[in-house]
C-alpha cells in the first residue's frame, strides 16, 4: 500500500486540481484491482501506473509510462475543413497509446512484464472506446486552432474568447480539449455537458443556429423503429442538438462526422413520423420523387451553387443548421429552406438565397445534364430561369407579378397581383402531406393531377392542378376564352396542348404570339395547310390561330 499512497500523493501534487471525489480513482480509468469498471488488472493495485510513473519514463511529459504507438493514422478530412490536420501529437498521442488498440493496456515501461487483465483482455475492446488507427471518422485533433483559422472557417469561435472548460494545448486542439482523463463528471470524461450541445458550442458557432428547429424543437422519439439518438442519453431534438446528426467518434459518414453514411438517412431517422410529425420518408417512396437514394456521397457542402454534377440530397434544398418554422410570402424563402445557396434570376450564385425559386434554379436552370422537358413544343426551353423571367411575354408569376391584368378565372385568394411559389404546383400530393416537392403519385412531382394525354375526358380530376387556382366553372363557361369548353370538353384537348405552364423566354417568343402562355405541343398540333404554326393575340380576349389540330385546319381561325 505504501507504493499506492506515494504515487497518488505524487500526482495529487503534480495535478492539484484533482480532488478525491472527482479523481481518477472513481472512474473506469482506474484500471487497478480497485477500479469500478469491468476492464481492470488482476493483481496490480497501483492506480496511476497505467499512464504515469515517477521513474523510468518515456521521454514525454507528464511522467509518461507508455511507449508511443508508432502508428501512422488515417486522418479526418473534408472539403470544408480549413485546418491543417497532421499526425496525432501532444497529449493526443498519449491517449491513443491505449485508445487505438495497438498496445496492450498492461504494457507499461515501469514493469518488466505486461500487467495481466481480467478475462484475458490485453488491448482496448472493439467498442466505441477503441478508435483504431483510422481517425477519419473521428473529430480532428492535433491541429493549430488560432484566430486565423476561426476567420477562415467562418463558423469557429476565436480561441481568444473560448469559454467554459475547453482548453487548447500549445494552441492546438487535442483529445484533452474535450476530455479530462482524470475526471468523469459529464460521462466519457468530457470537460462539459453535451446536453443542448453545450460542449460543441464552446468552439462551433454555426450561422443561423440560434433560430434553428434542430436547436429549439422539443420533439421526442415515439419509440417506433430505430432510436435516432443511439449514442446519447438525451430524449429530445433540442437536447441532442448537434448529435441529432453528428457523432464525434466512429461516425457513419467521415466527412462532417454524420451518423449514417447515406446522407438522406441522417434526416429520415427523425423525419419518418417517429420524431417529426409528418413522414418525409414516405414521400420518397412514391413513383415521382427527387431521387435521393440514387446518389451517395456526390453532394458536397462546399460545392458550387450551380449544380454541375447531377444529384439531389436533402442538403441541396435544406440547411439543417438553419431550417426553422418561420413562414413567408412568395417569393421570399420560407424558414424550412433558410440558409441555403442558390442561383438568382440573373444566373449568379447567391448564398444564402433570398427567394425560394433561387433554390430550384440550382438544378433546373443553367445546370448541365438536366432531364429534357416532358413536352415537345414549338419553342423548346429547358431552363426555368429563362421561362420565369419578368421580361417574358408570359409566365406564371414566380419571380414577380404576372403580365396579364385580366384573368377572370382566378379563385380567391389569387389575384392578378399574386406571386406564387414553385411548390404551389410541384409538391407532395395529398392534403395532409408535408410541404415541398419530395414525392408525388403524379408526374413531375405535381401536387394535383394534370393530364397531358390527348383525348382526355374532361373532369374535375383530369385538370385538378389547373382547377386549384382557376375556376373550372369559369373556364367551361368560356369567360376568358370563347372556345375553352369546345376544346377541352368537345375536342378532349388537354390544357398542356396550348399552354406552356412555366413561361416563354423573351429570347424566343413575343407578346403577340406567346401571350397567355401559348406555346403549342408538337405532335398534337402541327402547321396549317400553308405551313404556318402560330397564335396571334389581337387584344381584348381575341386572337387567331394558324395550325392543324385533330385534323382541323386553322388557316387562320379567329376567336
Residue 370 lies in a domain: no
pLDDT at position 7 is 44
Residue 75 lies in a domain: yes
**Single residue among 136, 165, 190 that ends a domain in this structure:** 190
pLDDT at position 126 is 79
Residue 388 lies in a domain: yes
340: alpha, beta or left? (left if phi > 0; alpha if psi -120 to 50): beta
Residue 424 lies in a domain: yes
pLDDT tens string 94-115: 999 999 999 999 999 999 999 9
Residue 113 lies in a domain: yes
- For residues 218 and 277, the answer to whether their CB atoms sit within 8 Å is no
pLDDT at position 385 is 98
- For residues 300 and 311, the answer to whether their CB atoms sit within 8 Å is no
Residues 6 or more apart in contact with residue 330 via CB below 8 angstroms: 356, 398, 418, 419, 420, 421, 424
Residue 255 lies in a domain: no
Query: Residue 355 is placed in which grid cell?
Result: 427567394
- Whether the ω angle into residue 413 lies within 30 degrees of 0, i.e. cis, is yes
Average pLDDT, the chain: 93
Residue 312 lies in a domain: no
Asked whether residue 14 carries a pLDDT value surpassing 60, the answer given is no
**Single residue among 158, 173, 190 that ends a domain in this structure:** 190
pLDDT at position 54 is 86
Residue 327 CB neighbours (<10 A):
8
pLDDT tens string 500-517: 999 999 999 999 999 999
**Single residue among 171, 190, 209 that ends a domain in this structure:** 190
- For residues 343 and 334, the answer to whether their CB atoms sit within 8 Å is no
Residue 391 CB neighbours (<10 A):
10
Q: Which domain holds residue 511?
A: 384-558
Asked whether residue 202 carries a pLDDT value surpassing 90, the answer given is yes
Say which residue the cell 424543437 belongs to. Answer: 217
Give the whole-angstrom CA distance, residue 365 versus residue 353.
Answer: 15
Residue 329 lies in a domain: no
Give the whole-angstrom CA distance, residue 556 versus residue 559.
Answer: 10
pLDDT tens string 141-196: 999 999 999 999 999 999 998 867 889 999 999 999 999 999 999 999 999 999 99
Asked whether residue 20 carries a pLDDT value surpassing 50, the answer given is no
Mean pLDDT, range 383-387, rounded to an integer: 98
Asked whether residue 479 carries a pLDDT value surpassing 50, the answer given is yes
pLDDT at position 127 is 78
pLDDT tens string 253-303: 999 999 999 999 999 999 999 999 999 999 999 999 999 999 988 999 999
Asked whether residue 19 carries a pLDDT value surpassing 70, the answer given is no
Say which residue the cell 519514463 belongs to. Answer: 57
Alpha carbons within 13 angstroms on the beta-carbon side of residue 136 total: 9
16-25, 313-322, 348-357, 479-488: least confident range? 16-25
Give the whole-angstrom CA distance, residue 448 versus residue 456.
Answer: 16
Q: How many domains does the chain have?
A: 2
Closest CA to 268 of 239, 288, 289: 289
Alpha carbons within 13 angstroms on the beta-carbon side of residue 389 total: 18
Percentage of the chain with pLDDT > 90?
88
Supply angle C-alpha 71, 77, 82, rounded to 5: 120
Query: Residue 352 is placed in which grid cell?
Result: 444564402
Mean pLDDT, range 528-556, rounded to an integer: 94
369 band by pLDDT with thresholds 50, 70 and 90:
confident
Say which residue the cell 475547453 belongs to. Answer: 166
pLDDT tens string 399-413: 999 999 999 999 999
pLDDT at position 163 is 66
Asked whether residue 558 carries a pLDDT value surpassing 60, the answer given is yes
21 band by pLDDT with thresholds 50, 70 and 90:
low
Mean pLDDT, range 512-538, rounded to an integer: 97
Give the whole-angstrom CA distance, residue 108 versus residue 106.
Answer: 6
pLDDT at position 96 is 96
Amino acid at each position: 500500500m505504501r507504493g499506492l499512497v506515494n504515487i497518488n500523493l505524487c500526482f495529487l501534487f503534480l495535478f492539484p486540481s484533482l480532488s478525491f471525489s472527482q479523481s481518477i480513482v472513481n472512474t473506469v480509468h482506474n484500471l487497478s484491482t480497485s477500479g469500478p469498471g469491468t476492464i481492470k488488472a488482476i493483481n496490480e493495485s497501483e492506480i496511476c501506473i497505467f499512464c504515469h510513473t515517477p521513474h523510468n519514463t518515456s521521454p514525454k511529459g507528464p511522467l509518461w509510462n507508455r511507449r508511443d504507438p508508432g502508428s501512422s493514422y488515417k486522418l479526418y478530412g473534408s472539403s470544408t475543413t480549413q485546418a491543417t490536420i497532421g499526425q496525432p501529437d501532444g497529449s493526443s498521442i498519449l491517449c491513443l497509446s491505449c485508445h487505438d488498440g495497438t498496445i496492450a493496456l498492461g504494457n507499461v515501461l515501469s514493469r518488466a512484464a505486461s500487467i495481466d487483465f481480467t478475462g484475458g483482455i490485453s488491448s482496448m475492446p472493439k467498442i466505441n472506446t477503441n478508435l483504431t488507427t483510422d481517425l477519419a471518422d473521428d473529430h480532428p485533433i492535433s491541429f493549430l486552432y488560432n484566430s486565423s483559422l476561426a476567420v477562415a472557417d467562418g463558423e469557429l469561435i476565436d480561441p481568444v474568447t473560448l469559454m467554459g472548460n475547453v482548453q487548447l494545448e500549445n494552441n492546438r486542439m487535442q483529445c484533452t480539449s474535450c476530455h479530462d482523463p482524470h475526471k468523469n463528471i459529464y460521462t466519457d470524461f468530457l470537460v462539459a455537458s453535451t446536453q443542448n450541445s453545450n460542449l460543441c458550442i464552446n468552439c462551433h458557432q454555426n450561422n443561423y443556429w440560434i433560430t434553428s428547429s434542430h436547436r429549439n424543437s422539443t420533439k421526442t422519439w415515439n419509440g417506433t423503429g430505430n432510436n435516432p439518438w443511439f449514442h446519447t442519453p438525451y430524449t429530445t431534438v433540442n437536447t441532442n442538438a448537434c448529435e441529432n446528426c453528428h457523432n464525434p467518434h466512429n461516425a457513419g459518414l467521415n466527412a462532417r462526422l454524420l451518423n449514417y453514411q447515406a446522407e438522406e438517412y441522417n434526416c429520415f431517422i427523425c423525419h419518418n413520423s417517429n420524431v417529426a410529425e409528418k413522414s418525409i420518408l414516405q414521400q420518397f417512396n412514391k413513383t415521382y420523387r427527387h431521387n435521393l437514394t440514387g446518389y451517395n456521397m456526390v453532394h458536397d457542402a462546399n460545392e458550387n451553387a450551380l449544380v454541375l454534377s447531377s444529384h439531389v440530397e436533402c442538403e441541396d434544398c435544406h440547411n439543417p443548421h438553419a431550417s426553422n418554422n418561420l413562414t413567408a410570402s412568395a417569393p421570399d424563402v420560407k424558414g424550412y429552406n433558410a440558409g441555403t445557396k442558390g442561383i438568382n434570376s440573373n444566373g449568379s450564385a447567391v448564398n444564402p438565397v433570398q427567394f425560394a425559386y433561387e433554390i430550384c434554379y440550382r438544378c433546373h436552370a443553367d445546370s448541365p445534364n438536366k432531364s429534357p422537358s416532358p413536352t415537345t413544343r414549338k419553342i423548346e426551353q429547358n431552363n426555368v430561369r429563362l421561362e420565369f423571367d419578368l421580361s417574358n411575354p408570359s409566365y406564371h408569376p414566380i419571380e414577380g407579378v404576372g403580365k396579364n391584368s385580366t384573368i377572370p378565372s382566378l379563385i380567391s385568394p389569387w389575384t392578378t397581383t399574386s406571386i406564387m411559389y414553385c411548390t404551389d404546383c410541384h409538391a407532395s400530393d395529398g392534403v395532409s402531406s408535408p410541404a415541398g416537392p419530395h414525392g408525388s403519385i403524379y408526374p413531375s412531382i405535381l401536387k394535383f393531377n394534370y393530364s397531358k394525354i390527348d383525348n382526355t375526358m374532361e373532369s374535375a380530376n383530369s385538370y385538378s392542378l389547373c382547377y386549384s387556382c382557376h375556376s373550372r366553372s369559369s373556364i367551361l363557361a368560356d369567360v376568358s376564352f370563347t372556345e375553352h369548353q369546345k376544346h377541352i370538353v368537345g375536342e378532349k384537348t388537354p390544357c398542356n396542348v396550348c399552354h406552356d405552364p412555366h413561361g416563354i423566354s423573351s429570347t424566343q417568343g413575343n407578346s403577340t404570339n406567346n401571350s397567355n402562355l401559348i406555346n403549342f405541343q408538337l405532335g398534337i398540333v402541327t402547321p396549317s395547310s400553308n405551313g404556318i404554326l402560330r397564335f396571334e393575340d389581337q387584344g381584348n380576349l381575341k386572337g387567331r390561330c394558324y395550325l392543324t389540330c385533330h385534323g382541323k385546319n386553322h388557316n387562320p381561325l379567329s376567336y
